Amino acid sequence: MKRRDFSLAATAAGLAPWLAATSAHAQQASFKAGSDYLVLQRPAPVEAPAGKVEVVEFFSYNCPHCAEFEPMLEAWAQKLPAHAVLRRVPVPFVGNDVQTKQRLYYALEAMGKVDAYQGKLFQLIHRDRMPLTGDAAVLDWAAKQPDLGDKFAENFKSFSVASKVKRASQLTDEYKVGGVPALGVAGRWYVDGETGRGLPRALQVVDFLIGEARKG
């Protein structure tokens, strides 16, 4: 599968007016399948409980566009309705140490540390240029974090994290993810910077699809 990176078409700066208007625009807009978003031929599995609409962000710590998208996504996620939940899935492409970066994410998730480190990791890798490549480098970095330490290493090497990495790779294929960052909704729809014509608009499409999922 050909993989692509998607530019933002807007930077994190000056996002406040856009964020305030996103949901309203999505409610008023009429987005079309096949052009603004894609419909999965086969539904993908979801982990959200009944009554909740699952939104999946496909990302990679190695992806510079994902790093730029992160502040926008976090601000958008804070405005999600109560019936929607955000789930992150690290993809099995972008860079030469993809499984390392997938295990990094799921080890943090197992410790409840994603919120504390997601933005920091993007900054370390893309702004500070820390050479955080390969298992040894990740484990050395984690050992120096006072709230991670040995517990992180245990999770990083665990069977449960390896299983989550496998499922993440399967879900990436089930959504037919063509590049990152990208978004899946309710196991039924796929949106990225190409279909959405920019990631800010892609989030508007996702808001629209959350509403469509509630209709059944």
Q: Is the pLDDT of residue 18 over 50?
A: no
pLDDT tens sequence across 40-62: 999 999 999 999 999 999 999 99
d(CA 89, CA 63): 13
pLDDT at 30: 81
Q: Indicate if the pLDDT at residue 155 is higher than 90.
A: yes
Single-letter code of the amino acid located at 7 = S
CATH code where residue 59 lies:
3.40.30.10
Cα separation, 199 vs 192, in Å, equals: 7
What is the full DSSP assignment across 146-162?
A: TTTHHHHHHHHT-HHHH
> By residue range, what is the domain housing residue 137?
4-214
Q: How many independent structural domains does the chain possess?
A: 1
Burial class (CB in 10 A: 0-12, 13-18, 19+), 141: middle
Pairwise pLDDT comparison (7 vs 29), residue with the higher score: 29
pLDDT in tens, 84-125: 999 999 999 999 999 999 999 999 999 999 999 999 999 999
